[in-house]
Amino acid sequence: MIWEIDDSTHAVEGLDGRGRPRPEYAASLGLRMAPFGRRVLATSIELGILVVLQLPLLLVSLPVLLNAAASADPAAALTDAGNLGIVIACAAASSALTTAFVVLQLILHGRKGTTVGKAAAGIRSVNVRTLERPGFWRGAVVRYLVLGASFLVPLIGPVLVIACSPLFDPERRGRGWADMAGATWFVDVRNGLNPYDVKRMRIARKTAATDLADERSELPSLATSAAAPGSGAYIPVTRSSGGVVGAPRGETYTASAAPGGADAAVVAPGGAAVDPAGHPAGAPASGPREPVHPSVASSMAPAGPGIPWTPPRLLPDAAPPAGPPLPVASRPAAPARPGAPAVAAPPVADASSPAVVLEFDTGTRIALPGAGILIGRDPSPAPGDNGLTLVPIEDPTKSISKTHLALLRTGGAIIAVDRASTNGSALIRDGAEHSLPPGQGVTVRSGDTLLLGDRRALIRIG
């Protein structure tokens, strides 16, 4: 038998070239520095508990010991007092309770990043490099040894180590000398991300790693001359979680300047002009031809003559369905599963459509106007999204993509389309959760719940 030993090291994210933690990475995850006032509050709570635990010693044992020390014969004074057993019991109780409390604090801080005072103040401690639990020995024991050593110099030591040293942190993250020694950092879990929430932390790390792909930037034009025969051009067609999906070279379509796109002519790959129905422009149909999907013509913006254009790859290869043109191209409907929501392509908006309201779990209510809405942290429309209202959703954990989901109004139905979001979308109906395939429209109804990353939105229609 051959034994394999995995000697791979755990990759630590958010470090610079010298292996030092980058504050901007932690900020991108949603971690916030714990306020100094609440850190003082947490320390005060823990010191108050220690004082309470020392009360038996301070109120019973200490006065007797001081009186005995002031007498000529301390041993005789303790024996004659008649309460030597009570003195010893009170001193032992205070010592045992204090020791148990300190050990509990060390274990909680090393394994959970919290203590009694920090839990009450909404603070957690993490390792400054890994943003995970600080560890028992360095994160807890070493740190508390430095804090304890500061009390060897009365008043001045604690003031310097606890109160003043965080002011000299070069990274301005409130880390004092004890935190430097223990490699710890205290974060605010009331107003920021809780690093011990495994699901949200995983989503935040994944989003931070892929967020650059969602950044909108001005891309240089890669278009070539339309006069050159057989020339192609890179035309942005739609968006995905990795950026913009472009048309492949070689299969060039050209839209005319006919406004609205309804009467636009399209140049097929062979170079012949055809109308949106798939017949030669300006000539009657002669023989069977491969039809062009009506959504291709309807989604083309008036671009002027000679502008190369390629239809989205999300269009089905089969013949187009009957009915009005589609504003957004979608994938073919998947086979229906028992209990799964109906799947449909989004048709054009109708003024007679019912009123629709989305109620988010944050309390936000959004009415569905016009043809529909495009939801995300910073949504941006793709070609064919004409008439959609952009609805930005605040999401500190970044579980929602910048362009996450489209909700489209129809004459008698509402269509939800996931826009290739990073964390996906789902629909809850009758207690069952159904994932939304990217780019595929799904009919929703009143009472359904949409899942967008970590956010929930209840749909009310009518």
Q: Of 428, 440, 445, 430, nearest to 354 (Cα)?
A: 445
Residues 6+ positions from 407 with CB-CB distance below 8 Å: 356, 358, 368, 372, 373, 375, 414, 415, 416, 417, 444
Residue 146's pLDDT is 92
Residues 6+ positions from 42 with CB-CB distance below 8 Å: 115, 117, 118, 120, 121, 123
Residue 119's pLDDT is 94
Residue 352's pLDDT is 55
Residue 171's pLDDT is 87
User: 124 to each of 31, 57, 109, 189, how far by Cα in Å?
Assistant: 11, 32, 9, 7
Residue 413's pLDDT is 83
* Digitized pLDDT (tens) for each residue of the chain, 462 residues in all: 455 555 555 678 888 888 889 999 998 899 999 998 999 899 899 999 999 999 999 998 888 888 888 888 777 777 765 677 888 899 999 999 999 999 999 999 999 999 999 999 999 999 999 999 999 999 999 999 998 899 899 889 988 988 889 888 988 899 999 999 999 999 999 999 999 999 889 888 887 776 544 444 444 555 544 444 444 444 444 454 544 444 444 443 333 333 344 333 344 444 444 444 444 444 444 444 444 344 333 333 343 444 343 333 333 333 333 333 333 333 333 444 445 444 444 444 444 557 889 999 888 898 888 888 999 999 998 887 888 899 999 888 888 999 999 999 876 788 999 998 988 899 999 889 999 998 888 999 999 999 998 889 999 987
Whether residue 182 contacts residue 143, with contact meaning beta carbons closer than 8 Å, is answered with: yes
Residue 208's pLDDT is 78
Quote the CA–CA distance of 248 and 54 in Å, as a whole number. 77
Q: How many CB atoms lie within 10 A of CB 352?
A: 7
* Domain boundaries 356-461, CATH class: mainly beta
Residues 6+ positions from 221 with CB-CB distance below 8 Å: none
Q: Of 339, 348, 349, 343, nearest to 331 (Cα)?
A: 343
Q: Of 297, 258, 257, 290, nearest to 272 (Cα)?
A: 290
User: 314 to each of 36, 234, 400, 413, how far by Cα in Å?
Assistant: 53, 17, 23, 22
Give, for 309, the enclosing helix (H) or strand (E): strand 307-309
Strands 389-392 and 372-376: what pairing? parallel
User: 359 to each of 65, 417, 457, how far by Cα in Å?
Assistant: 68, 18, 5
Domain residue extents for the chain? 23-207, 252-309, 356-461
Residue 326's pLDDT is 33
Instruction: Tell me phi and psi for residue 240, to 5 degrees.
Output: -140, 180
- 381: tokens are 């429309």
Give, for 207, the enclosing helix (H) or strand (E): helix 198-214
